Amino acid sequence: MRKSLLKSILTVAILLCAWCASTQYNKAYFHYMGRQAMMNNDYQQAIKTLNVLLRFDENDYEGYFLRGIAKYNLDDLLGADTDFSSAIEKNPVFTIAYTYRAITRSRLGNYDDALKDFHEAIDLRPDLPDPYYSRGVTRLLNQQFKEAIADFDMFIRHEKKVADAYVNRGVCYQYLKDTLRAYEDYERAIRTNREDPNGYNHRSVLYMQQNRHQEAEADLDIAIKHDSTYLLSFFNRALVYSNTNRPLLALSDFDHAIKLDSTNSLTYFNRAILRTQIGDYNRAMEDYDRVAEYSPENVLVYYNRAGLHSQIGNIEKAIEDYTRAIRLYPDFANAYLNRSYMRLISGDRKGAQSDRQIAERKIADHKSRLSDSTYSIYSDTTQKFDKLLSFDTNLKGSSFNRAIEQTSSQTNDINLIPLFKFTLTKPDSAMLARNDLYHAQRMEDFVAKVGDDLLIISREASNIEPDSLVVLDKKIAEELRRKEDWILLFKRGVTQSLIKQYTNAVGTLTFAITANPSNPFLYLNRSTTRAEMIDFISSIDNSYQKITIDSDPAKRLNNRGSRIYNYDDAIEDINKAIKLYPDFAYSYYNRAGLYAISGKYPEAFEDYSKAIELHPSFGEAYYNRGLVQIYMKDTHKGCLDLSKAGELGIEDAYEALKYYLDK
């Protein structure tokens, strides 16, 4: 619901901004192209276009505003907040910018500042209905239900044909236990838009709470008829089927919901319970395994899976899962009791007795706290956990309460962008454009002196065919037999590196350095080659120390394998390059990467910062510095750097932002 707020009024916002375009042709052109890219959902292209506009006119408040919308739609919420703030700074009466910054801050969970922005927007233009609607949603999310109802009332006074306004007001009434008014609002939503599944779904939930299953099912049938891609309809109908003892139909709807979203832990969890109930133990186990994979801190999946293991006689695995549940939630008396029984069956009488004693203490403690409504119900040993959970079940927060947390399918391994080196490749227009952002005369003179049209500094793999590289390497070797100079030695070192003859490449580059010891670029390439050789050796050794971030961003660099590989020689080479040419951004970037691999995070941060100082448009440096800050547990600043990297054209930054902003 949160993300759809901004997208739903994107078209209106762009049209409202259109009149602001400058009469200057170029400025109007960039405004137009930026808006067109967003209308086509090409938000990254919109950002690139608007970057050009803002480089020429840093006071263009509409440019910041439009770029903020693009970033928002790429889930770069921090970057969007920054751009909306810039738009407001340039134009303090820019009403719609306040509204959009408020929506962004609401999605970030910063409700207090969001409400302040809505207040500013409404003060500036009390006649506009949209800020009331958005503020109502923010107040709903912040559980200020009465205030939210007042805002939805104001919005509906202006706009009587927006079904979602009635739905949201109905949700507020439902939270306030005023089911009659909630029902009336869901009715109005359905009458306003009979093809929108949202009203039917919410009314069906109200029916389910009142055990009016037949009416709930009828609503959900209509919702699915109007939109067969709406996951919530199938999920809720599965609950209705389950509550009316039709497990096979419920399973069918859960199957369909999983087809629509294959990463929804809650659906797998519910399907596992149903499969267990009908005796389909193997597939139930598969579902619990998926939940454990997506939500490793889920208590209930380990507890329920342990029960399933005990049913099919896997006593040891049952004990393991009960132990995991206890580790995540030490007050879980049921888990102690069940593990006690499993240990008794396995012959561990001492362990069984210890578990029972702990459980009895926790039961007594629970009984003494029964008057305390804040005490978790899950310490109550009479509580059962084989009931299906609703889609809006709120089990987030503590380790225990993250039991059924929805988790996206993003990868657990988000890598640093590789080192730069001089390589041979056929550059495309994007690569050339990025290289044009950084001018270093000494580097350009070096490339000109080497005299190879394919030579470029890049962090990308070469796109030249391996066979062609082998032929080229042999050709250079023939030339070296006739004439040996540092340029040919350098070129041979590059080709040997590209065909993975790393030892030979290091040796050849060493000869080149001996012939020309004051050239910093020779040291840079030998440094990169040495680092690549170490990575190659470690991959063969089956303990490749890939630079990754663990699925828990609070953990540090995840260096896998037992062997430690030494990058000191590579760092020594890049130190020499920096000494010979202290103003070259790529050298600091490379040394930062080597420091990161070696676990020297503060040093890596400093070098990435120096690279950015020398090359303000160095998107890769922003990206990697962002990850390093996340490794060092400063997620907020890390995400700001990732946002900047995305703005500068590093597309992977938006995937990383989605991953870490959800943590």
* pLDDT tens figures, 238-253: 999 999 999 999 999 9
Distant-in-sequence, close-in-space partners of 143: CB < 8 Å, separation ≥ 6: 175
Asked if 571 and 594 count as a contact pair (C-beta separation under 8 A), the reply is yes
pLDDT at 393: 53
User: Mean pLDDT throughout 199-222?
Assistant: 94
Round to whole Å and give the CA distance between 445 and 452.
Answer: 12
Asked if 182 and 167 count as a contact pair (C-beta separation under 8 A), the reply is no
Give how far the C-alpha of residue 224 lies from the chain's centroid of Cα atoms, to the nearest Å: 30
Choose between 467 and 259: higher pLDDT.
259
Round to whole Å and give the CA distance between 460 and 419.
Answer: 9
pLDDT at 572: 94
Band of pLDDT at residue 551, cut at 50, 70 and 90:
very low
Round to whole Å and give the CA distance between 405 and 581.
Answer: 51
> 25-34, 391-400, 647-656: which range is least confident on average?
391-400
How much is the pTM? 0.60
Share of the chain above pLDDT 70, in %: 84
Domains, the chain, in order of start with CATH, read 2-244 (1.25.40.10), 262-402 (1.25.40.10), 421-661 (1.25.40.10)
User: Mean pLDDT throughout 562-576?
Assistant: 79
pLDDT at 35: 86
* Alpha-carbon separation of residue 5 from 113, 139, 643 (angstroms): 17, 14, 21
* pLDDT tens figures, 485-544: 999 999 999 999 998 888 889 999 999 999 999 999 999 999 999 998 887 655 444 332
The CA-CA-CA angle for residues 215, 221, 222, to 5°, reads 95
Q: Please determine, for residue 172, whether its predicted confidence score (pLDDT) is greater than 50.
A: yes
Distant-in-sequence, close-in-space partners of 482: CB < 8 Å, separation ≥ 6: none
Round to whole Å and give the CA distance between 651 and 548.
Answer: 18
Give how far the C-alpha of residue 143 lies from the chain's centroid of Cα atoms, to the nearest Å: 26
Q: Please determine, for residue 458, whether its predicted confidence score (pLDDT) is greater than 80.
A: yes
**Angle (deg, nearest 10), helices 111-124 and 95-107:** 160
Q: Please determine, for residue 16, whether its predicted confidence score (pLDDT) is greater than 70.
A: no
* pLDDT tens figures, 331-367: 788 889 999 999 999 999 999 999 999 988 878 876 6
Phi first, then psi: what are they for 626, rounded to 5°?
Answer: -60, -45
Q: Please determine, for residue 571, whether its predicted confidence score (pLDDT) is greater than 50.
A: yes
* pLDDT tens figures, 81-114: 999 999 999 999 999 999 999 999 888 888 889 9
pLDDT at 161: 92
Round to whole Å and give the CA distance between 656 and 648.
Answer: 15
Share of the chain above pLDDT 90, in %: 55
* pLDDT tens figures, 405-420: 332 233 334 588 999 9
